[in-house]
Amino acid sequence: MKKHFIAGSLAAATAIVMTGCTPPGGGDSSGGKGAVLNIGWNEAFRSMNDMTMDGNAVANTIVAYMSNDNFKYYDDDLELHDGALGEVEKVSDDPLKVRYTFGEDANWSDGTPVDAADLALTWAARSQHFNTVDDNRDDDGTLKDNPDGTVFFDSSAVGAPLIDDFPEISEDGKSLTFTYSKPFADWETEFGLGAYGSGVPAHIVAKNALGTTDPQEGKAAILDAIESNDKNALSKISNFWNTGFDFTSMPENKDLLVHNGPYEITDFEEGQYLTLSRDEDYTGSVEPKVDTVTIRYNGDPMAMVQAIENGEVDLTQPQSTADVLSAAEKLEDVSILPGEDATFEHVDLTFDNNGPFDPASYGGDEDAALKVRQAFLKTLPRQEIIDRLIKPLNEEAEVRDSFNQAPDSPLYDDIVAESGISDYDEVDIDGAKKLLDEAGAQGPSVRFLYDNTNARRSQLFALIKESAEKAGFKVEDAGDVNWGTRLGDGTYDASLFGWALSTTAVTESDSYYRKGALNNYSGYDNKDLTKTLDEMLVTIDPDKQASLAGDVEQQLVDDAFGLPLFQHPSLTIHGDKVSNVSTTTLDPSMFWNFWEWETK
């Protein structure tokens, strides 16, 4: 289950001149045979493996999603559907066993069947069972190659670690059954969801990591290495799995283009555009109505609007600002779909850095630190933020009141009603002052981390600072263009950034709030909540899942962990010659139904 931290939809992208390099077929979006669709996107593709920590970005997911089939996908109502790759079924409750059966027509583009070896490699990489080190990065965060005999897969998951044993594989290799060591709530979406139903091609990993030449021998070598826990082979396999599928222009090694979906990458000009063409040899069931999709890259949202006007781009989803909306509304023969995208903004507080929210600053007094956290959260002007910055883009925008569920998810309303977050519906300066007095905290200083190159985040910080200082806080501007590398380093007391989710699974919350977990940058540790997370992992009953999800949210509110602010507004802009366009609040956003896009 993926989580992307978002620096701002466009802030980190490099601006690219739209007219600098015209891709093949650019501008010709006529219908029928040879139909072309030009899409504007903010950040360039860089890896076909979006399951790695480094490759886990929306810019990569959207390309992998169109290039590969899956077992499951979400629609724009967040309903889960069966994909084209095969079937997922639970075959036993005690122990939990889940079988993946690949369709007979599931093949890689080089003719090799998609099968159990591919999914077994994905499990091995994401389970962390085979890693011999916890990390393999330089001090600056750069991933290094594993030395001989050292294994480090740059990935993680929630459910995969609960599978201890090598899977059962059918004789023809078209079926694989995982046995979980304990029940797991989100077994249906742990593998096979979204961009990669099977994972990267195991035979290509074997060819490049182990030197095999025959695809079936390569698959066997991968399975043998996993089953025997061959550290020397797994060291080479993990090295290639981690970075071997990374490229920023058309690769010399055509192995990296092997795919199992309806589109193939046929052209890629670094930083300019990437072209996906219908693969005439594709054997699956997905039938796109557009033959060629070119994604053109530009980090400037106003340039995207200009490209729509010029006919260079037919469809785009730029960062939503009032200026962008105003410019788009002036265009003729253009449809604008305001809404919400997959990212939500939030403020988190730091618990373990001897700062104003850490009990250690009050001689270990948990209650005093809690009151200071509550006081700060009472000053957050959430409704003013919505009214001033978000409603001009989406007049139906509301404050987001859940840490873990999107506003249109089935659990959202019940969770919000019971969590106690309504205590923070309105700014309460007097209440904040009272709490600070009770805690004996006079003018606590809060170092506030955010991306100070992002205009909207700078405006958010200014509103938060102004409000908090009315209650007596001293808010220090710790804004930093490199904010992402500082997450969890203890040099700040509050942070502002966004998360993008790819699933509605209840176990999504595990990596945020468990001590030492991948996305727990706050140093938060609550043993009661950890017990709830443990129970959530193994709970299958939907009603009990919902109850536990509510318990998690209530505990976070009780502990004053932080506050969600809003779902990012989205503007999906397209020329009227494009139809069947919609978007979703999960990654891959407007690409979720690419096979339904049509051009006149």
Residue 180 sits in a domain of what CATH number? 3.90.76.10
- Please give the mean pLDDT across all residues of the chain: 90
Q: What pLDDT band is residue 33 in, cutting at 50, 70 and 90?
A: low
Boundary-marking domain end, from 212, 238, 256: 256
**37, 320 in Cβ contact below 8 A?**
no
Q: Domain for residue 200, yes or no?
A: yes
| CA 567 to centroid of chain Cα atoms | 14
Q: What pLDDT band is residue 21 in, cutting at 50, 70 and 90?
A: very low
Say what the pLDDT of residue 243 is.
Answer: 96
Q: Domain for residue 469, yes or no?
A: yes
pTM for this structure?
A: 0.80
pLDDT over 90 at 121, yes or no? yes
**484, 499 in Cβ contact below 8 A?**
no
User: Quick one: CA torsion of 451, 457, 463, 468, rounded to 10 degrees?
Assistant: -40
480 with 362, same domain? yes
Q: Domain for residue 40, yes or no?
A: no
252 with 377, same domain? no
433 with 560, same domain? yes
**Higher local confidence (pLDDT), 445 or 546:** 445
**115, 145 in Cβ contact below 8 A?**
no
Q: What's the Cα-to-Cα distance from 215 to each of 203, 210, 237, 381, 525, rounded to whole Å?
A: 5, 12, 15, 58, 47
Boundary-marking domain end, from 189, 224, 256: 256
213 with 77, same domain? yes
pLDDT over 50 at 451, yes or no? yes
473 with 365, same domain? yes
Instruction: Give Cβ neighbours of residue 284 (< 8 Å, ≥ 6 apart).
Output: 69, 84, 85, 103, 105, 106, 107, 260, 261, 262
Alpha carbons 126 and 143: distance in angstroms, whole number: 16
Q: What angle do CA 266, 108, 35 make, to 5 degrees?
A: 40
Boundary-marking domain end, from 195, 225, 256: 256
pLDDT over 50 at 85, yes or no? yes
246 with 349, same domain? no
Percent of the chain with pLDDT over 90: 72
Q: Domain for residue 32, yes or no?
A: no
Q: What pLDDT band is residue 1 in, cutting at 50, 70 and 90?
A: very low
228 with 353, same domain? no
**Higher local confidence (pLDDT), 586 or 549:** 549
241 with 135, same domain? yes
Q: What residue ranges in 284-437 does DSSP mark as E strands?
A: 292-297, 315-316, 334-349
Count of domains observed in the chain: 2
| Selection from 53, 215, 247, 225 nearest residue 151 by Cα | 225
248 with 359, same domain? no
pLDDT over 60 at 13, yes or no? no
Say what the pLDDT of residue 268 is.
Answer: 98
Which neighbouring-strand residues pair with 269? 273
376 with 507, same domain? yes
Burial readout 137-163 (b: 16 or more C-beta within 10 A, e: otherwise): eeeeeebeebeeebbbbbbbbbbbbbb
Alpha carbons 30 and 28: distance in angstroms, whole number: 6
The rounded radius of gyration (Å) of the Cα atoms in the chain is 24
- pLDDT (average), residues 194-208: 94
236 with 363, same domain? no
| Selection from 502, 482, 300 nearest residue 409 by Cα | 502
Q: Domain for residue 170, yes or no?
A: yes
Q: What's the Cα-to-Cα distance from 579 to each of 228, 235, 254, 314, 574, rounded to whole Å?
A: 52, 47, 33, 10, 9
423 with 545, same domain? yes
Report the CATH number that the domain containing residue 449 is assigned in CATH: 3.10.105.10
Indicate the SS3 state at residue 102: strand
pLDDT over 90 at 279, yes or no? yes
Q: Domain for residue 211, yes or no?
A: yes
Q: What pLDDT band is residue 141 in, cutting at 50, 70 and 90?
A: low
Q: Domain for residue 167, yes or no?
A: yes
Indicate the SS3 state at residue 98: strand
Which neighbouring-strand residues pair with 175? 101
Taking phi over 0 as left and psi of -120 to 50 as alpha, with beta for the rest, 117 belongs to: alpha
Least confident of 44-48, 116-120, 469-473: 44-48
Q: Domain for residue 101, yes or no?
A: yes
Write out the residue range of the structural domain in which residue 396 sits.
Answer: 341-568
Least confident of 204-213, 257-266, 582-591: 582-591
